[in-house]
Amino acid sequence: MKNNLLKIIVSALFAALTFVATFMVQIPAPFGYVNLGDCFVLLSGALLGPFYGFAAAGLGSALADLLLGFSVYAPATFLIKGVMALIIGLVAQKVNKRVVLKMALFGALCEILMVLSYLLYECFILGYGIAAAAAIPMNLFQGAVGLAAFLILYGVISRNKKLKIFLNV
């Protein structure tokens, strides 16, 4: 019971961190701005596991879309970001928590999945057709920034004795 409550509390914390990193952190980029939301999407999965990570990443990201005025993207964002956390969470359960290289490879796979998923969503669900491909470079850049930030934070957490509590939540 105590462990489940802790997991729920930390999941809510990571949903909030994902929201804030997406909603508030805006880093200027050549075609607009990027945020650090994907960093916390991946971190949610890696630290909370696949299912709690899915919930935290999906809810935090979708809420940011809603409040930023991109409500048309919120359902897709919930699923896409949730699945990213699910994948990295499954990988984290199977590999040694300190194997950052494997986390980097699967994190990159998650980011590529994100780019392709948004492309398909915009192309077929929103009806943008081939024009949806124009977003690919920015989505790739967004993914690269999120992945880099994730690897830095994950490396710090996995090597710090005081922060290792998050690896056992």
The whole-angstrom separation of Cα 61 and Cα 64 is 5
Each residue of 125-147: pLDDT tens digit? Answer: 999 999 999 999 999 999 999 99
pLDDT recorded at residue 161: 73
Q: Residue 33 — very low, low, confident or very high, per pLDDT cuts 50/70/90?
A: confident
The answer, yes or no, to whether residue 20 has pLDDT greater than 90, is yes
Q: What is the pLDDT of residue 141?
A: 95
Share of the chain above pLDDT 70, in %: 92
Going from N- to C-terminal start, the domains of the chain cover 2-168
Question: Where does 2-168 sit in CATH, by number?
Answer: 1.10.1760.20
Cβ count within 10 A of residue 127: 9
pLDDT of residue 43: 95
Burial string for 81-105 (b: 16+ CB within 10 Å, else e) reads: bbbbbbbbbbbbeeeebeebeebbe
Q: What is the mean pLDDT of the chain?
A: 91
Q: How far apart are CA 17 and CA 14, in angstroms?
A: 5
pTM of the model: 0.93
More confident residue, 157 or 75: 75
- Cα–Cα distance, 166 to 169 (Å, whole number): 5
* The pair of three-digit structure tokens given for residue 28, joined into one six-digit string: 């200027």
